[in-house]
Amino acid sequence: MHDANLSQTPVATSRPDAIDFFRAWDTYAKVVAANYMFHRELGQAVRDALRRRFEGRAFSLLDLGCGDASAMAPLLDGLRLKSYKGVDLAPPALALAKRNLAPLDCPVELVEADFMSALRDSNPQDAIYSSFAQHHLTSEGKAEFFALAAKRLNPGGLLILVDVTREESESHDDYMRNYPAWLRKTMTSLSTQEHDQICDHLTRNDFPETASTLRAQAERAGLSALEGLVPHKWHRLLLFAPA
């Protein structure tokens, strides 16, 4: 399991029913409240990046895997948005997002879709944001993600990724041992059942790359890496702009 905005919904590859959704969402809420995955630091860095890039200019934003938008909505307060489009697979999340985004003074569109299809079909955007979703893709899928994002970004635009990455010397198998062990040790407010739920999800669905691999894929797609943030070794903000 990873984020929901900072994020994709807890079930990233299938449409969750209402019971499964709210069970997973309750666990997610505990993770966010305790800041186990550094949501506060990453969220502030996202807001700072948007302010630096657009410097008071109005911009459009495509939020891929928007979840309920409860974390994103405060980050956008005071920024000049031309439009906001949020995409998620979970209808319950989109219903909550509609309420959480109501204060925005711009057109808001919420779409039930997987984030790759939404990116493929998107109009040009000034900013594209994806949080804890890209690591569900294969390596080939991630390369396609960057290629699509490069085509969908307007000149002067910004691609923002919040995600987990492997350490440079860490294999996928090592990550799958190290990260769940860290999770069980660190996320002390969660029950054993909740630990098991999260670890089972990431074991079946997570395919994180190293940061250098992601930067190389982005460069091949025509994007340049900008300075980001690493509040903890597996959790990071990656920023890219059209070359």
* 80-132 tens-digit pLDDT: 999 999 999 999 999 999 999 999 999 999 999 999 999 999 999 999 999 99
> For 202-216, what is the mean pLDDT?
96
> For 51-55, what is the mean pLDDT?
96
Buried b (16+ CB within 10 A) or exposed e, 116-146: bebbeebeebbbbbbbbbbbbbeeeebbbbb
69: CB partners within 8 A, 6+ apart: 5, 63, 86, 96, 97, 100, 101
Predicted local distance difference test score (pLDDT) of residue 23: 62
Do the strands 108-112 and 81-88 form a parallel or antiparallel pair, or are they unpaired?
A: parallel
Residues 99, 71 contacting (CB under 8 angstroms): no
Nearest to 131 by CA among 100, 82, 164: 164
Predicted local distance difference test score (pLDDT) of residue 25: 74
* 58-75 tens-digit pLDDT: 999 999 999 999 999 999
Predicted local distance difference test score (pLDDT) of residue 187: 96
- pLDDT surpassing 80 at residue 188: yes
pTM of the model: 0.91
> For 48-56, what is the mean pLDDT?
95
Maximum alpha-carbon separation in the chain? 48
What is the chain's mean pLDDT, rounded? 91
Confidence band (pLDDT; 50, 70, 90) for 180?
very high
* 9-51 tens-digit pLDDT: 333 333 334 445 556 778 888 998 999 999 999 999 999 999 9
**Cα dihedral: 37, 42, 30, 185 (round 10):** 20
- pLDDT surpassing 70 at residue 3: no
Phi/psi zone of residue 69: left (φ > 0), alpha (ψ -120 to 50 degrees), beta? left
Predicted local distance difference test score (pLDDT) of residue 22: 53
- Span of 28-32, 149-153, 179-183 with lowest mean pLDDT: 28-32
> For 152-169, what is the mean pLDDT?
98
- pLDDT surpassing 80 at residue 150: yes
